[in-house]
Amino acid sequence: MKPSLNRKVQLALGSVILTFLVGGAISYRSTIVASESDRLVRHTHEVLERLQDLLSAMRSIESSYRGFALTGKESYLESYRSSILSAQQNEVAVGQLTMDNLKQQRQQQALERLAAQQIQFGEMAIRLRQTRGLDEAANAIRSGSGERIMDEFQGEVREMQNEELRLLAVRDKDAARRSRQTKTALFVLTLLGLLIAAIASWIVHREIYGHGLAREALRDSEERYRVLLDEIEGYAIFMMDPLGQIVTWNAGAERIKGYRADQIIGRNFSCFFPPEDIEQGRPEEILRMTAARGRHEEQGMRVRKDGSRFLASVRFTALRDAAGNLRGFSESSHDLSESKESGAKYRGLLEAAPDAMVVVNQTGEIVLLNLQAEKLFGYHRDELIRQKVKNIIPEGFAERLIADGTRTAAEALAQQIGTGIELTGRRKDGSEFPIEIMLSPLSNSEGILVTAAIRDITERKRSEYLLVRTAAELKRSNDELQQFAYVASHDLQEPLRMVASYTQLLAQRYQGRLDSDADEFIAFVTDGCNRMQGLIQDLLTYSRAGTNERELREISCEHALKDALANLRATIKESGAVVTHDSLPTITTDQTQLSQVFQNLVGNAIKYRSADAPRIHVSVAKNGGKEQIFSVRDNGLGIDPQYFERIFILFQRLHGRVEFKGTGIGLAICKKIVERLGGRIWVESQPKEGSTFYFALPKTEER
Amino acid sequence: MELIGSNAAAIHVLLVEDSPGDVRLTKEAFKDAKVHVNLHVAADGTAAIAFLERHGKHSNAPRPDLILLDLNLPKKAGREVLAEIKESPTLRSIPVVILTTSAAEADILQSYQLHANCYITKPVGLDGFLKVVRSIDDFWLSVVKLPRESHS
């Protein structure tokens, strides 16, 4: 982010102040240094003066004791004594002033020594003058000792003065250098300060001027927008500053969101979001995304002023000035649930659906529903919109929309789509009923809405239950029938065998030994037994027909027919029948059972023949459609159409036993087998014109 | 327990059959047999096993050379008797002929799986029955060489 104008101004001001503070510090330091320099100069001058005074005092001492020695005047002696005092004072002063200089201290000690020697010499000259007189004193002075000390003293003083002057020169030079540096530093700092101030003022000027322009431009466009936007009522359109504070508001926004302009301008746009979104930082995230990409579109839940929620389609656009600086955002949104265009279409679609339809968001709230859903659950629309879907589907639906540990919400949903889920629905009156729901995602960029088609499957469940119960009953009755067949095959036959066998034994052993009535009765008993046995055998055959769950295989129908004809070989030979057939197809069925059908039909054709030699033709119809239709045509007795149904019923016979043997089971068995194979059987015939028996088997699906 | 004939060297046949009529018919049929047959009859499966294992009163029972076994028996079913015989190391060498009214494929298959030596459905008529018994006599008691075991 760029620094704001304020920040820039603060920065510039700070820089200038800092510059002058540094300058001040340098000045202060330079003043301190200068005053120190002054002090040192004064010090040097003091030392020089004191040295000069000391030298004068020493000269005065010399001239005084000389004067006394020559003249003996007491005034010289007084001058001598005061000069010694003055020399001593100056000596001490010089000693103190040069305390900080080792070299001067040593010189000063030499001065003290020489001064002491001079005073000693002076004292000696004075004493000589007083005790020995002028000559002695004059001689002593002339020896030149005093003069030599004085010269030496004077040399030392000169040296110390020179040293002080040298130090002064060094210090002066140093002070001058510092003074120059200070001046340079102050000059540079002043320049720097001026420069910063100039730059800052230029920036501030530019900012204020530029901002003013931008603001003006913005105001212009705002004005244009406001006029335009206020005419749009279907869309909430408003602008925000870069932080999301609302700066404009149109009539559509007022209508959709429920706030008047004066209630919302200045507030942050996050107030349109549900609390859970705010918690997750969704508003900030949207601004961030919009700023980064220039625009952002989404569908999501929004909150009105009254707290109610609605599904909105929202578009954000970042507003930037010519320089690319972010000036703010615009948002345009509309309420999807009331949208006059797509919403109406969508609702139209919902209403047209035969099933109850409910649109749910990912928090499990109902967003939309159709009339069928209202009816199904017994609620009015308003009672369900924005309510939890759990109210109408207590379990199994809302849970499916939620991500768990291993799946994201989208994945969780994807797994459910397109598959019927059986759940329980709850009506307003609390009654529950079975439902089946199908989920599909609503076209939505974030995939957060789910359309659920809900179907009441009460009837289906009831049918399923009935079907299961009927199937169970059927199985039980079938099992009983099987059991009956077994009972018939064993338990019924046993006593019958006894009757038959012992009647025969009687007949064999007592034939002719009883009267003729007895023989006749025995014959009837035997015949009855035989027929009974035949019936039981046929019944067994019938009950077993079609029950053998052999695997259906692809077989040649010609083979099946050949097997049948082989079994009938004796009958065919005896009757002189001619059996012909078309080329028969290959079908998927049970060969043994198909063969049984052919055998029974061909056998019947021979059995119920007319006076002519039987001619039998087996063929297959070409236009069977989904069925394979076989026919067995004969030139036999023919059948009166009124018996077409009856002949297929178990043990129903059209002829007396004397004319034709048989129990009347052949066609019943054929019917049972054909029907077990999924087909049907019928006959076309006229008496004396022969019969054609047809049977149709389903064609297996082409692979 | 009935014993037909008394020839010690005769062939012993155990008929396991609960129907007195069939027992009588079988006896009648064996009257004309080529070989002298000692026919022992057990009326149910339990009695058959007792006879074969010489329990109780059967302690002196001979080892049969052939067993005619009905499948539908009281107490212990024929197939159980068959299974026990064929599981027993001492009895399994005795040929077992299943002679029953059942013509059910399941019964036939199961019997052979239990190592029955042959399976015959009782014919309905007297003639047929007599013929079957005669065939047994011809084949099993005359043609076939049976193991002559004498261990106890």
Mean pLDDT over A357-382 rounds to 85
Q: Mind telling me how many Å the CA of B105 is from chain A's nearest CA? A: 11
Chain B residues near residue A508 by CB distance under 8 angstroms: 126
CB A30 within 8 A of CB A182: yes
DSSP-based three-state secondary structure for B145: coil
A232-335: CATH topology: Beta-Lactamase (3.30.450)
Domain count, chain B: 1
Q: What percentage of chain A reaches a pLDDT higher than 90?
A: 10
Burial class (CB in 10 A: 0-12, 13-18, 19+), B96: buried
Residue B103 lies in a domain: yes
Q: What range does the domain containing B70 cover?
A: 11-143
Residue A124 identity? M
Nearest to A490 by CA among B52, B130, B77, B49: B77
Highest mean pLDDT among A137-141, A166-170, A469-473, A652-656: A469-473
pLDDT of A697 > 80? The answer is yes
Nearest CA in chain A to B71: A490
Identify the weakest region by mean pLDDT among A239-243, A256-260, A440-444, A513-517: A440-444
Q: What percentage of chain A reaches a pLDDT higher than 70?
A: 89
Residue B24 lies in a domain: yes
**Is the minimum CB–CB distance between A541 and chain B shorter than 8 Å?**
no
Beta strands in A397-551 (DSSP E): 421-426, 432-441, 449-456
Nearest CA in chain A to B100: A490
Residue A534: other Cβ atoms inside 10 A: 15
Q: Mind telling me how many Å the CA of A537 is from chain B's nearest CA? A: 10
pLDDT of A652 > 90? The answer is no
User: Predicted confidence band at B82 (pLDDT cuts at 50, 70, 90)?
Assistant: very high
Residue B68 lies in a domain: yes
Residue B4 lies in a domain: no
Query: Which residues, at least 6 apart from A355, have a Cβ–Cβ distance to it below 8 Å?
Result: A372, A453, A454, A455
B21, B102, B127: residue with CB nearest A498: B21
Chain B residues near residue A592 by CB distance under 8 angstroms: none
Chain-chain contact of A489 with B102 (C-beta, under 8 angstroms): yes
Is domain A352-456 classified as CATH 3.30.450.20?
yes
The rounded distance, in Å, linking the Cα atoms of B66 and A6 is 124
pLDDT at residue B3, as a whole number: 47
**Is the minimum CB–CB distance between A490 and chain B shorter than 8 Å?**
yes
pLDDT of A446 > 60? The answer is no
Chain-chain contact of A490 with B102 (C-beta, under 8 angstroms): yes
Nearest CA in chain A to B121: A490
Mean pLDDT over A327-351 rounds to 72
**Is the minimum CB–CB distance between A536 and chain B shorter than 8 Å?**
no
**Is the minimum CB–CB distance between B23 and chain A shorter than 8 Å?**
no
- State the best of A501, A502, A537 to mutate against chain B, taking most chain B CBs within 10 Å: A501
Q: Which pLDDT tens digit goes with each residue over A497-507?
A: 888 888 888 88
Residue B86 lies in a domain: yes
Distances from the Cα of B104 to the Cα of A13, B16, B100, B110, angstroms: 117, 20, 10, 10
pLDDT at residue B114, as a whole number: 93
**Is the minimum CB–CB distance between A417 and chain B shorter than 8 Å?**
no
pLDDT at residue B151, as a whole number: 46
pLDDT of A407 > 60? The answer is no
The rounded distance, in Å, linking the Cα atoms of A425 and A216 is 61
Q: Which pLDDT tens digit goes with each residue over A53-86?
A: 888 888 888 888 888 888 888 888 888 888 888 8
Q: Which pLDDT tens digit goes with each residue over A44-58?
A: 888 888 888 888 888
Average pLDDT over chain A, rounded to an integer: 82
More confident residue, A577 or A440: A577
Written out in words, the top-level CATH class of the domain with range A549-698 is alpha beta
**Is the minimum CB–CB distance between B21 and chain A shorter than 8 Å?**
yes
Q: Output the six-digit token pair for A18.
A: 């800092």
The rounded distance, in Å, linking the Cα atoms of B109 and A197 is 117
pTM of the full predicted structure? 0.41
Q: Mind telling me how many Å the CA of A494 is from chain B's nearest CA? A: 7
pLDDT of A32 > 90? The answer is no
Q: Mind telling me how many Å the CA of B126 is from chain A's nearest CA? A: 4
Q: Mind telling me how many Å the CA of A598 is from chain B's nearest CA? A: 23
Nearest to A374 by CA among A359, A364, A384, A365: A384
The rounded distance, in Å, linking the Cα atoms of A124 and A115 is 14
**Is the minimum CB–CB distance between A191 and chain B shorter than 8 Å?**
no
B101, B104, B126: residue with CB nearest A505: B126
Nearest CA in chain A to B26: A501
Burial class (CB in 10 A: 0-12, 13-18, 19+), A698: middle
pLDDT of A433 > 60? The answer is yes
Is domain A5-199 classified as CATH 1.20.120.1730?
yes
Chain A residues near residue B129 by CB distance under 8 angstroms: 501
A489, A493, A500: residue with CB nearest B125: A500
More confident residue, A428 or A308: A428
pLDDT at residue A275, as a whole number: 87
Chain-chain contact of B125 with A504 (C-beta, under 8 angstroms): yes
Chain B residues near residue A530 by CB distance under 8 angstroms: 124-125
A486, A497, A502: residue with CB nearest B122: A497
Nearest CA in chain B to A536: B124
pLDDT of A602 > 90? The answer is yes
- State the best of A497, A529, A536, A547 to mutate against chain B, taking most chain B CBs within 10 Å: A497
Identify the weakest region by mean pLDDT among A30-39, A105-114, A643-652, B77-86: A30-39
Q: Which pLDDT tens digit goes with each residue over B98-143?
A: 998 887 788 899 999 999 999 998 887 788 888 888 888 888 888 8
What DSSP assignment string belongs to A362-373? TTSBEEEE-HHH
Distances from the Cα of A605 to the Cα of A504, A635, A702, angstroms: 34, 8, 34
Residue B40 lies in a domain: yes
**Is the minimum CB–CB distance between A487 and chain B shorter than 8 Å?**
no
Burial class (CB in 10 A: 0-12, 13-18, 19+), A599: buried
Q: Mind telling me how many Å the CA of A524 is from chain B's nearest CA? A: 15
A/B interface, count of CB pairs below 8 Å: 41
Chain-chain contact of A489 with B103 (C-beta, under 8 angstroms): yes
**Is the minimum CB–CB distance between A518 and chain B shorter than 8 Å?**
no
Q: Output the six-digit token pair for A500.
A: 């038959």
CA angle A324, A326, A332 (to 5 degrees): 115
Q: Mind telling me how many Å the CA of B145 is from chain A's nearest CA? A: 32
Residue B138 lies in a domain: yes
pLDDT at residue A349, as a whole number: 77
Identify the weakest region by mean pLDDT among A5-19, A492-506, A626-640: A5-19
A490, A505, A508: residue with CB nearest B101: A490
Question: In DSSP terms, which residues pair with A454 in a beta bridge?
Answer: A356, A437
Interface of B with A in 61-90 (CB under 8 A): 72
More confident residue, A657 or A32: A32
pLDDT at residue A695, as a whole number: 92
More confident residue, A547 or A615: A615
Q: Mind telling me how many Å the CA of A544 is from chain B's nearest CA? A: 10
Distances from the Cα of B86 to the Cα of A454, A553, A584, A627, angstroms: 65, 37, 49, 52
Q: Which pLDDT tens digit goes with each residue over A519-533?
A: 888 888 888 888 888
**Is the minimum CB–CB distance between B147 and chain A shorter than 8 Å?**
no
Residue B150 lies in a domain: no
**Is the minimum CB–CB distance between B101 and chain A shorter than 8 Å?**
yes
B72, B104, B129: residue with CB nearest A501: B129
User: Predicted confidence band at A235 (pLDDT cuts at 50, 70, 90)?
Assistant: confident
pLDDT at residue A202, as a whole number: 80
Mean pLDDT over A199-221 rounds to 72
Chain A residues near residue B28 by CB distance under 8 angstroms: 505
The rounded distance, in Å, linking the Cα atoms of A64 and A129 is 13
**Is the minimum CB–CB distance between A549 and chain B shorter than 8 Å?**
no
Q: Which pLDDT tens digit goes with each residue over B3-33?
A: 444 444 578 999 999 888 889 888 888 887 7
Mean pLDDT over A342-367 rounds to 78
pLDDT of A356 > 80? The answer is yes
The rounded distance, in Å, linking the Cα atoms of B46 and B65 is 19
Give the DSSP letter of residue A125.
H
Chain A residues near residue B99 by CB distance under 8 angstroms: none
